[in-house]
Structure 1
Amino acid sequence: MASFLLPDAVAIAQTLVRIPSVSGSPAVFDVVEAVKHILEESADPSVTVHVCTAVPDAPVLLAHAGSTDPEAPSFMLSGHIDVVPPAGMEAPFSGDVKAGRLLGRGATDMKGGAAAAIAAFAQASKENLPGSLWLILSTDEETNVRGVKAALEEAGAPRPDACLIAEPTELEIHSAHRGDAWIRVDFEGRSAHSSRPHLGVNAVDAACLFAVKARKRLPEMMKEGPAKGPQTCSIDLISGGAAENVVPAHASVTIDFRFQGEETGRLQEERILRVLEECRQDPDFPDVKASTTITGDWPALADQTDAPACRRAIAALTEEVGRPLKTTPMSGWGEGGYMCAFGIPAFYFGPGEGRLAHTPQESASVEMIETAARAIHRAVRAVLCGGEVAPRS
């Protein structure tokens, strides 16, 4: 295989880590500008860059290189460049390298992987690509993930043959994950002085009785559904009350559902409504008004690693890493769910240990970032060029 000198992925990662791009903060615009500058400096001048601002506080960078022929092979590199808040970190945005590891918030999740993808994209853009190469980087993956969806809904948005998402997988393959939905149940009663509780309708009582019932019934209902594979639900938020001496008129319960692709957030909401009807059969259940709101609904990623472009990419990654790559589902949710929803076969491959993400100890192996950049570049060539390409003169 010809040897190419890729742009320095670790230096790119350091630049990204040094920008405090916490989701929703003004710094997300700074990190997008930094990527634009990196591409101006290291990619081919023919590269086009578009920033989608359909979601005002969550810009998405979309860059393109290579062929504009809609019939040509196409491949996308994806990631996010926002981070969670740096709670508990002494120097969260230093970007220092010590003992072979990049330090700082986002080093693992996932600025190390984003840097590897940027370096691979920049190098490939300078080669005679017979296919179409895309780079998409979002800035709200750690919160409500509206940006990438809006970008993929734009007119002319790419629909590549495959997408590699450079989340931290320790250079293994994650091929699928469950969908995720958050559903809030609001209870409305009637306030009264606590010395005369019989004059009120206690919404907190209703929320507590509902939570006890839901904890048992929802898992039973999910087992009876169409999905095959593990599903879970978790009661994660309960709130309500106004003061210690006031019968609460308002309360809410929020439930997180993780489900297979055959199911949807709407189906989980229907199950909640069934639990509410069962609650109303209990004479101890207060006469409250109840309503449901889907506050988050993110689709599952089905395993599509048998798609031809995915197979070629994974074979190339395997060759560069130099060992067989394990292929497993991912426990959490990622933007591959939206790729799948828009008909784009996707999988995850990137540097970093997921167990360090969002922790005060977050860091990433420099060697792993460099290996990822080389492997992703090789995957690009395999999908778009059938292997080797000649660099532009």
Structure 2
Amino acid sequence: MGRGLDLKTDVAALTADLVDVPSVSREEKQLADLVEQALRAYPHLAVDRDGDAVVARTRFGRAERVVLAGHIDTVPIADNLPSRLDADGVLWGCGTSDMKAGVAVQLRLAATLEDANRDLTYVFYDAEEIAAEFNGLKRLVERHPDWLAGDFAVLMEPTGGRVDGGCQGTLRVRVETTGRRAHSARSWLGENAIHKAAPILARLAAYEPRRVEIDGLTYPEGLNAVMIEGGHAGNVIPDTCAVTVNYRFSPDQSEAEALDRVRGVFEGFDVVLTDSAPGALPGLSHPAAAAFVDAIGTAPAAKEAWTDVARFSALGIPAVNYGPGDPTLAHTREEHVEVAAIREAERKLTAWLTG
């Protein structure tokens, strides 16, 4: 789009404007420029930028500070731009649900709440949809933790308009086997590493995942093979095989405890950790979190995924997930969001921050 963002337009129109600026991960500069330019027009906001992450903060002098955060990047476009608003009040397009509707709500609040019952920090960050090493919020935590300081945080990920507390942790391991190469015509001279992986798959099939209750929320776990690598050619007995296993674990465990559990499942095999991220406890007992749940007016649930609330939790900031949009539509060609849901999120957050 050739013009700037109007942050005081209707929140649904603002969502469409954001969607129409392509911002695939690591290609967010145009949108980050527009967000920064729009926020700097408001004198009640102090605006900072690092790379393609933009942070705006109020200085009302309130006793409590709330952080509202959302990522501005999307997955690759799937023939679903520009945005399209249908007659039923549904906005279609890449990033509508995940999560430019939530970002639009943040921007509207940043522009319209020139006074509030809490100080506010608005975080717009890049590269959430790809490897953690590129994540803009991770970069801000490492370089500018003071920009993120607060008493409570809301990550505006799509949750269908309910509050999702905490998040699962996640780790991936390679469970490896070795054998001996041979010509497949003389297979008895070799030792097949792929065949040796059969017990790994059997243990996964037999594994019974835990369901853990924390603060009244139930976190279901999952331990699954997500990839198998092995083989060299159609006439070679393979001498190596690796099964990549993803463990989604409840936030009652640390990363080290989760890894110990996985190693216990695959005792006798070589288990190599490839990546890991901690979970986050719900934190719903914090007064600000309790007030937020009351303001939203729906029963909270456990977040059945990993999200960046874990980064706030690591900073000692209780955090929840809340935003318009259906999370099951994220990353799909048919991604869309209901206009009514965007407006409801704006209304409820405004009431919470001004009531």
Is the Cα contact below 8 Å between 1:123 and 1:377 reproduced in 2? no
Between 1:372-381 and 1:238-247, the stretch displaced more is 372-381
Is the Cα contact below 8 Å between 2:219 and 2:303 reproduced in 1? no
TM-score by length of 1: 0.77
**1:302 matched to 2:281:** yes
**1:60 matched to 2:42:** no
**1:246 matched to 2:244:** no
**1:293 matched to 2:299:** no
Q: Report percent identity of matched pairs.
A: 28
Cα deviation per residue 1:97-129 (whole Å; 9 max; x = unaligned)? 2221211011111111111111112222x33x5
Cα deviation per residue 1:195-218 (whole Å; 9 max; x = unaligned)? 2334444332233332223433x5
Residue of structure 2 in register with 1:9 after alignment: 11
Partners of 1:132 and 1:312 lie apart in 2 by 15
Using a 3 Å threshold, how does the CA distance of structure 1 residues 250 and 181 change in structure 2: closer, same or farther? same
Counterparts of residues 144-155 of structure 1 (less than 5 Å) = 144-145=131-132, 146-155=135-144
**1:136 matched to 2:123:** yes
Using a 3 Å threshold, how does the CA distance of structure 1 residues 185 and 138 change in structure 2: closer, same or farther? farther
Is the Cα contact below 8 Å between 1:16 and 1:34 reproduced in 2? no
Partners of 1:246 and 1:204 lie apart in 2 by 12
Partners of 1:272 and 1:351 lie apart in 2 by 35
Is the Cα contact below 8 Å between 2:227 and 2:243 reproduced in 1? yes
Matched to 1:65, the amino acid is T
Is the Cα contact below 8 Å between 2:173 and 2:271 reproduced in 1? no
Is the Cα contact below 8 Å between 1:162 and 1:346 reproduced in 2? yes
Using a 3 Å threshold, how does the CA distance of structure 1 residues 96 and 254 change in structure 2: closer, same or farther? same
Partners of 2:211 and 2:331 lie apart in 1 by 32
Partners of 2:245 and 2:67 lie apart in 1 by 34
Deviation, structure 1 residue 229: 5.2
Matched to 2:332, the amino acid is T
Is the Cα contact below 8 Å between 1:109 and 1:167 reproduced in 2? yes
Cα deviation per residue 1:150-193 (whole Å; 9 max; x = unaligned)? 31233424231111122222322222332222222344444332
Deviation, structure 1 residue 148: 1.5
Counterparts of residues 12-161 of structure 1 (less than 5 Å) = 12-23=14-25, 25=26, 27-41=27-41, 44-53=42-51, 59-67=52-60, 72-87=63-78, 90=79, 92-99=80-87, 100-124=89-113, 126-127=114-115, 131-145=118-132, 146-155=135-144, 156-161=146-151
- How many corresponding residue pairs? 341
Matched to 1:326, the amino acid is A
Deviation, structure 1 residue 139: 2.4
Matched to 2:81, the amino acid is F
Matched to 1:73, the amino acid is E
Unaligned runs of 5+ in 1: 54-58, 280-289, 319-323, 382-386, 388-393
Secondary structure in 1 matching 2:185: coil
Secondary structure in 2 matching 1:195: helix
Partners of 2:99 and 2:179 lie apart in 1 by 45
**1:362 matched to 2:350:** no
Partners of 1:112 and 1:261 lie apart in 2 by 28
Using a 3 Å threshold, how does the CA distance of structure 1 residues 130 and 340 change in structure 2: closer, same or farther? same
Matched to 2:83, the amino acid is G
Cα deviation per residue 1:321-354 (whole Å; 9 max; x = unaligned)? xxx3222222222211222222111122221122
**1:259 matched to 2:249:** yes
Using a 3 Å threshold, how does the CA distance of structure 1 residues 273 and 372 change in structure 2: closer, same or farther? closer
Residue of structure 1 in register with 2:4 after alignment: none
Partners of 1:327 and 1:107 lie apart in 2 by 23
**1:327 matched to 2:306:** no
Secondary structure in 1 matching 2:194: helix
Partners of 2:163 and 2:262 lie apart in 1 by 35
Using a 3 Å threshold, how does the CA distance of structure 1 residues 352 and 276 change in structure 2: closer, same or farther? closer
Counterparts of residues 194-209 of structure 1 (less than 5 Å) = 194-209=184-199
Deviation, structure 1 residue 81: 1.8
Partners of 2:11 and 2:57 lie apart in 1 by 19
Matched to 1:371, the amino acid is E
Q: 1:371 aligns with which of 324, 341, 344?
A: 344
Counterparts of residues 223-234 of structure 1 (less than 5 Å) = 230-234=220-224
Secondary structure in 2 matching 1:306: coil
Partners of 1:300 and 1:77 lie apart in 2 by 19
Is the Cα contact below 8 Å between 1:117 and 1:376 reproduced in 2? no
Partners of 1:195 and 1:264 lie apart in 2 by 48
Residue of structure 2 in register with 1:350 after alignment: 323
Partners of 1:171 and 1:277 lie apart in 2 by 42
Is the Cα contact below 8 Å between 2:40 and 2:47 reproduced in 1? no
TM-score by length of 2: 0.85
Matched to 2:63, the amino acid is A
Matched to 1:64, the amino acid is R
Partners of 1:104 and 1:229 lie apart in 2 by 31
Secondary structure in 1 matching 2:40: helix
Partners of 2:211 and 2:81 lie apart in 1 by 45
Unaligned runs of 5+ in 2: 1-6
**1:237 matched to 2:227:** yes
Partners of 1:187 and 1:118 lie apart in 2 by 51
Partners of 2:20 and 2:8 lie apart in 1 by 21
Matched to 2:304, the amino acid is S
Is the Cα contact below 8 Å between 2:67 and 2:152 reproduced in 1? yes
For the aligned residue pairs, the C-alpha RMSD in angstroms reads 2.8
